[in-house]
Amino acid sequence: MSHELSKSGAAIPPIARRLLYLLPLLALLVAMLYFAISESRRRLAPPSAAAWELLARWLAPTLQAGDGLLVDPSWAVGALHRVESEIPAPQSTDPDPLLNILDRHAVHPADLMWLRRVFVIEVRDFPRDQPPKLPGFREQELPREAAFPELLGRTFRLRLYRRTRPTVLFDFVRQLSQARAWRLDQHRRRQSCRWQKPKLACQRPQRGASWCDIVPVRAELIGTGPAALFFHMCNHNGRSFLEYPATPLGRRIRVQIGWQMFAFQSKDGDPVVLDVFVAGLHRGSIWVHPNDNRMRSLTIDTRSLRGEVRPVRFVLSGGSHWGRNSLLVGWVED
């Protein structure tokens, strides 16, 4: 009798045993076939320039003032930039009609304060993370007339989000033109800054030095952060002052600070301290250390001053004059 008995006593026919021996090899081959096929699919995935152009032309008449666009995954936004000229900028208070997913966990509330609607363009075959969270926004059915043509629908999926409630009262990044700024170097010499749209241009500590300005930036490369203020540490151990003389105060002021790496060799770097003053009173500090990889946050409760308009001052101290630059984000919540 060639059949063997299994432990439970049931006979295992040779063909089943053979298959059992063959199973690991077959499983391996099938798994590798799966990976090979999915790799081929990934290669086919990028939408063509023509598809993006078609999308841009389709979007153009749909966009209204106060609309934003958001591409998911965020790194694909570059392709939309390439056909940006096809999308006439809507009459928006925000000069930039494009929004980007800058963080996989959340879109920054201050980025949304200017918008009434957000179109999320999902590139179908590209791997994506969780759907973006849009605080204060709710997904809505696409209007019938806005439904995607079939041709585009194969490549993209469009979602529409509409604002249901305002979340931000005052955004420090976009209100930069209202601010006053100055710097003190390590010898306490003052360097003044003045508004030169779209940035606060500050005096260079020496001829040829660059990036001493305080500039609103939109970090859109690999998902670093939201629209932010970019401070270059022009002076070793210097101090930068940024004051908004008339800030409407609400429930909370949220401030985030982190590094935007300039140097790709980063052995240098000292900590930077951000001090926040509200109505002349010191209300909190954040320390950012050279090896901090994330944004550091501070929340200041200003409920007692609700409805009042008072100065808010940020003071950045310390830091190396090269190598690392600070990114500052802040807004007053309604």
Partner 1 sequence: MKAPNPHAVGPPAPYRFARADFAIALSLWVACVALLLQTSSMGYTRDESFYFRHSVTYVRWISGFLGKGEPAKWTSKDSVYRYWHSTGNNMEHPPLIKVLFGLSWRTFGQKQRRIGAPFKHGKYGLVIPLLANAEELGLKVGDRLLVSHPKPVSAADGDRPERLAGGTLVSAKPRALIKLDGDPLTPASFHRVCDQRIDSETKRPLTIGGCTAQNDGPLALLREDLSMRAPAMVFSGLLIALVFLFGVELFGRIPAFFGALILFFTPRFFFHSHLTCFDVPIATLVFATQYAFWRSESRRTWALGAAVLWGLALLTKHNALLVPVGLVLYWLTAHWREYRLALPDSSALRLFGPQRAPRWRSAIAIALGIATLVGGALLLGLKGAIAASLLLAIAYGLRLRLPSIPLAFLLMPPIGFTMLVLFWPALWYDTLANLEWYLNFHLKHVHYSQQYFGEVLGVPPFPISFPFVMTLTTVPEALVVLSGTGLALFYLPWQRLSAWLSRDEPQSAKVRSLLALVPLSPRARWFIAINGLIPIAVIAMPSSPIFGGVKHWFPTMPFVSLIAAGGFAFIWKLAERGLPIKSSLQRSAIALLCCLLLLTPPLRASLHNVSTGTSYYNGFLGGVSGAASRRMHRQFWGYAVRGALPWLNRRARKNARVWFHNATWGAITMYKQVGLLRHDIQNAALQQAEIAMFFHQRAFEPFYNEVQRAFGTKTPAHQITIDGVPVLSVFVRKGR
| Chain contacts with partner 1 (rule: CB under 8 A) | 7, 17-22, 24-25, 28-29, 31-32, 35-36, 38-39, 42-43, 45-47, 73, 75-76, 78-79, 81-82, 84-85, 98, 104, 123, 126-129, 211, 215, 217-224, 230, 259-267, 269, 290-291, 293-294, 325
Q: Which of 213, 216, 243, 199 is nearest to 327 (CA)?
A: 216
CB of 262 to partner 1, least distance (A): 5
CB of 280 to partner 1, least distance (A): 33
Cβ proximity to partner 1, 46 vs 248, nearer residue: 46
Cβ proximity to partner 1, 2 vs 265, nearer residue: 265
CB of 126 to partner 1, least distance (A): 5
Cβ proximity to partner 1, 243 vs 292, nearer residue: 292
Cβ proximity to partner 1, 143 vs 208, nearer residue: 208
CB of 183 to partner 1, least distance (A): 18
Q: Which of 325, 314, 312 is nearest to 278 (CA)?
A: 312
Residue type at 188 in one-letter notation: R
DSSP 271: -
Residue with tokens 């609607």: 117
CB of 275 to partner 1, least distance (A): 24
**Other residues' Cβ atoms within 10 Å of the Cβ of residue 85:** 8
Beta strand pairing call for 98-100 and 137-140: unpaired
Cβ proximity to partner 1, 98 vs 305, nearer residue: 98
Cβ proximity to partner 1, 37 vs 309, nearer residue: 37
Q: Which of 74, 67, 57, 60 is nearest to 122 (CA)?
A: 74
Asked if residue 208 lies in contact with residue 311, where contact means CB atoms within 8 angstroms, the answer is no
Residue with tokens 């976009």: 174
CB of 211 to partner 1, least distance (A): 7
Cβ proximity to partner 1, 100 vs 191, nearer residue: 100
Asked if residue 172 lies in contact with residue 230, where contact means CB atoms within 8 angstroms, the answer is no
- Provide the 3-class DSSP secondary structure of residue 68: strand
Sequence-distant (≥ 6) Cβ neighbours of residue 234 within 8 angstroms: 183, 185, 191, 202, 204, 205, 209, 211, 212, 321
Cβ proximity to partner 1, 43 vs 303, nearer residue: 43
Cβ proximity to partner 1, 81 vs 138, nearer residue: 81
CB of 181 to partner 1, least distance (A): 18
Instruction: Compute φ and ψ for 251, nearest 5 degrees.
Output: -70, -55
CB of 45 to partner 1, least distance (A): 6
Residue type at 37 in one-letter notation: I
Biggest CA–CA distance in the chain, Å, is 99
CB of 271 to partner 1, least distance (A): 12
How far apart CA 57 and CA 217 sit, in angstroms, is 27
Q: Which two tokens stand for residue 179?
A: 């601010």
Residue with tokens 């200017």: 114
